[in-house]
Amino acid sequence: MPLAHAADRAMAQFVREGERLRRESLETEWLLTNGLGGFAQGTLMGTPTRRYHGMLIAAMHPPVDRVSALTAIDDTLVIDAGALTQLSVRLTPIHFEGAEHASSHPNLVSMEQGHFGVRWRYRVHSPLGEVTLDKTLYLYDRRNAVGIRYAVRSGGIPIRLELRPLIRLGDMHALHHEGTAFMRRPLPGGCFIAREHLGLHLHSKEAAFRDDPQWWRRLTYWWEQDRGLDHVEDLYCPGRFEWTTVPASGTSVLTLHASTDAGSLPSIEDDAAARDRRLAEITRRTIVRCGGDALGPADAAAVAALARATDAFLVRRGSVTHPQHGGTPGVSIIAGYPWFADWGRDSMISLEGLLLVTGRFDEAQRLLQTFAERRRRGIIPNRFDDLTNEAHYNTVDASLWFIHACCRWARLAREDAGFSSSPLAEACLDVVEHYARGTDFDIRRDPADGLIAAGSRSTQLTWMDAARDGVVFTPRHGKAVEINALWHSALLELAALLAPRDAARADELRTLAAEAGGSLRRLFWNPQRNCLFDRLEADDAGGWRGVGDVRPNQVFAVSLPHSPLTPVQQRAVLSVVRDALLTPHGLRTLAPGEPGYRGRFEGPMPQRDAAYHNGTVWPWLIGPFVEGVLRVHGPAGAADARRALAPLVEYLDSRFLGKLPEVFDGDDTPERPQRARACTAQAWSVAETLRALALVLACERGDPVEKS
């Protein structure tokens, strides 16, 4: 069995059994990914409770155009030794509208997630004796394919399995209803199902397929209902697989494969073994880079768990090839599962934690090149559309994070000597030139103060970008604090890399940085609150006035490699952020007590959008906070930084097995504790937690983050 593979046993697994399994059967979720943008996801009990739950969500044009191919299998174990002793057990409860919803399974004794598969163990007591069944779901690497394996031990008791695939075969974001025509064609050992341009192959060597088309109506997903969205759908069942066996001794095994192509598949064991070796090497390199044998057992385990979590987000972008890499596909980062595709901002922020801390320098270069080749008028894509693959460019910060990521890659990959003549340097300078003279979305450098302004009342160009039905919930047009902190630091980082071969250009960049830094230090300082304004907005007299919301964006003026602030200002900013915004799971997006603060991320989508950046906690912000603490306080701040990180590291064995979520509630009291919300696995949450932990460990070893 793949989850018992020797290499897999050496890695952390997540196990639920006993009372904890019963208590968490529907709320705790697992996730498997295939490196293409496709995935499988579900609950501990296997019951789908989201529209995004499924055994195979396939990326038809990696990493986008994702379709829910196989939602679930209605699998029934029948113990049959005559009419008087027949016992039927449904292994996967399905929730239907109007029916009672099971919250646990009486025969499910354990659930285990490995790195590429999940395994359920059922134990059934019958008049003839005990039957044990293990069900393993394995998602293949770089294939839109899944293997579901049933292993039965019964000591001679006759058993039968009946498997009914439940199929949407459509856009993963949209629920399906009866009425669409499906085409099915029997094949040896299975069948082929088609809907419009999509197809699904179902095959088993051991079982017989019985053609029996039917609709399963009114399945309900309570997470969608909680979000105020449509939550009831109908699924198509083409028939059933039947398998009868009498395992006199040992184990009888049935495997069902589902895939969106007709290609042959390797054995589960061979595919898992290759991935085990690759992931073990990534984990080893990360541990070495974070201290190796000097790490204590707890730190080594934390680094290993985070390193393994990073692998879920790295995907192939199949439509981009790079001649300098032998025509291999481009690399990108899925921002979050289950519903995000690849975003430029998220990719650039996540790059260091996902790829540089883990020593994946070649993939980091390919990712940077993927976005550099897609830039338009100095702007890298904000995101790629999950349906059309079209690039959207509505961002002001992604291109500045791109420069920062390029410079970090050059330094850590030891490519700084040749960077000035590289295509990436050309792309960075293109960003600077367009921002300096002005580009799309009213992004421009103000010659009066050297600061970057961008946007209008109708745009959302920074990472605080929630908007719906024409409403921008967190307006940040004008001069945003983190945009100008990024501009200042990017200019100086780029200048340092260019200086050995192009001193004149480096001096020009330093001049721009000096003007922007001086203006930021002067114009953004809010003496009444002893911290930075979140942004400057245009006033009626043609000038600029500060907006005094206490938000976390000011922390970047401390955490980035080059801070424009005085040491006194840096300490003051960190103090305000710590006192008003820091929670156990990251930083709030707005301080409690500020106008518009919303402490709970809940309710219908407009209500959630309004809270998204107005109090909701984002784990990824722990990275800049920890970096700021270490830059300002050095080794003396390491203990505080470690305490800030600890709850997120511990959360890896919580609701989303081995992953960290997108957000948490802003309120955190005994009466209203923080709850994880939105995406169940977010790239920058994992990346920044790992990067921050690596910084803390380095600081404790006597290698503190350099002060600018």
The three-state DSSP-derived secondary structure of 603-620 is: CCHHHHHHHCCCCCEEHH
Query: How far, in Å, CA of 531 to CA of 510, rounded?
Result: 25
**DSSP per-residue string spanning 42-80:** EETT----STT-EEEEEEEETTEEEEEEE-EEEEEEEE-
243 and 327 fall within a common domain: no
| Residue 454 DSSP symbol | B
What the block records as the tokens of 496 is: 């340092």
Do 167 and 212 lie in one domain? The reply is yes
Q: What is the DSSP letter of 127?
A: T
**How many C-beta atoms lie closer than 10 Å to residue 496's C-beta?**
18
Of 268, 301, 333, the one marking the end of a domain is: 268
pLDDT tens for residues 512-558? 999 999 999 999 999 999 999 999 999 988 899 999 999 999 999 99
- Domain membership of residue 316 (yes or no) is yes
- Least confident segment among 215-219, 233-237, 324-328, 703-707: 324-328
Position 182 pLDDT exceeds 70: yes
Both 224 and 143 in one domain: the answer is yes
Q: What is the pLDDT of residue 21?
A: 97
**In terms of domains, do 451 and 600 share one?**
yes
99 token code pair: 């029916």
CB 307 within 8 A of CB 323: no
455-470 burial code (b ≥16 CB/10 A, e <16)? beeebbbbbbbbbeee
506 and 622 part of one domain: yes
Structural contact between residues 572 and 557, judged by C-beta atoms closer than 8 angstroms: no
Domain annotation covers residue 705 = no
- pLDDT of residue 325 exceeding 50: no
User: Helix, strand or coil for residue 693?
Assistant: helix
CA–CA separation, 430 and 124 (whole Å)? 66
- Name the amino acid, one letter, at 528: Q
Question: Where a domain ends, among 235, 268, 301?
Answer: 268
- Which CATH number covers residue 297? 1.50.10.10
Rounded distance between C-alpha atoms, residue 305 and residue 149, angstroms: 26
In a domain, 283, yes or no: no
pLDDT of res. 81: 66
Output the domain CATH number for residue 248: 2.70.98
Looking at residue 2, its pLDDT comes to 36
Each residue of 639-682: pLDDT tens digit?
999 999 999 999 999 999 999 999 999 998 888 889 999 999 99
Rounded distance between C-alpha atoms, residue 511 and residue 572, angstroms: 27
- The CA angle 520-523-529, to the nearest 5 degrees, is 105
Q: Which of 86-100, 238-252, 616-630 has the highest mean pLDDT?
A: 616-630
Residues 253 and 321 in one domain: no
Inter-residue contact 87 to 106 (CB < 8 Å): no
Please answer whether residues 246 and 158 qualify as being in contact, where contact means their C-beta atoms are separated by less than 8 angstroms.
yes
Confidence grade of residue 707 (pLDDT, cut at 50, 70, 90): low
**Boundary-marking domain end, from 212, 234, 268:** 268
Same domain, 45 and 151: yes
Q: Give per-residue burial for 154-182: e unless 16+ CB within 10 Å, then b.
A: beebbbebbbbbbbbbbbbeebbeeeeeb
The dihedral formed by the CA atoms of 607, 608, 609 and 610, expressed in degrees to the nearest 10: 50
Mean pLDDT of 121-127: 93
**Closest among 641, 652, 646, 643 to 682, alpha carbons compared:** 652
In whole angstroms, what is the distance from residue 259 CA to residue 262 CA?
7
Is 347 in contact with 333 (CB distance < 8 Å)? yes
In this predicted structure, the answer to whether residue 202 has a pLDDT above a threshold of 50 is yes
CA distance 578 to 588: 10
CB-based contacts of 27, cutoff 8 Å, min separation 6: 43, 655
Is residue 7 scored above 60 in pLDDT? no
Judged by average pLDDT, the poorest of 9-23, 147-161, 300-314, 341-355 is 9-23
- Report the candidate in 462, 464, 432, 463 with the shortest Cα–Cα distance to residue 450: 432
Q: How far apart are CA 342 and CA 334, in angstroms?
A: 4
Prediction pTM value:
0.95
**Side chain identity, residue 259:** S
Report residue 83 as tokens: 């009419």
Domain region containing 585:
290-700
Q: Which helix (H) or strand (E) holds 18?
A: helix 18-24
Per the structure, the count of domains in the chain is 2
Same domain for 249 and 301? no
Q: Compute the distance between CA of residue 131 and CA of residue 134 in angstroms, rounded to an integer.
A: 10
| 660 occurs within a structural domain | yes
207: closest CA among 183, 175, 241? 241
Tell me, yes or no, whether 236 and 368 share the same domain: no
Q: Which two tokens stand for residue 212?
A: 């029996």
> Per-residue pLDDT tens for 12-46?
489 999 999 999 999 999 999 999 999 999 999 99
Tell me the three state secondary structure of residue 123: strand
- Residue 10 has what pLDDT? 33
pLDDT tens-place string over residues 441-482? 999 999 999 999 999 999 999 999 999 998 999 999 999 999
Sorted by sequence, the CB contacts under 8 Å of residue 87 that are 6+ apart come out as 78, 79, 80, 124, 126, 127
- CA 420 – CA 636 distance, rounded (Å): 37
Same domain flag for 399 and 312 = yes
Residue 236 structure tokens: 């198509």
Rounded CA gap, 194 and 214, in Å? 15
Specify the pLDDT at position 644: 97
Query: Which burial class, exposed, middle or buried, applies to 526 when counting CB atoms under 10 A from its CB (0-12, 13-18, 19+)?
Result: middle
- pLDDT at position 322 is 38
Burial class (CB in 10 A: 0-12, 13-18, 19+), 668: middle
Whether 274 is covered by a domain: the verdict is no
Q: Which amino acid is at 392?
A: H
In a domain, 143, yes or no: yes
Q: Do 200 and 58 contact (CB within 8 A), yes or no?
A: no
Strands 444-445 and 452-453: antiparallel
**Residue 529 included in any domain:** yes
Q: Which helix (H) or strand (E) holds 556?
A: helix 556-559
Domain membership flag for residue 693: yes
- 294 and 264 housed in the same domain: no
Residues 244 and 391 in one domain: no
Pairwise CA distance, residues 47 & 42, whole Å: 7
Average pLDDT, the chain: 94
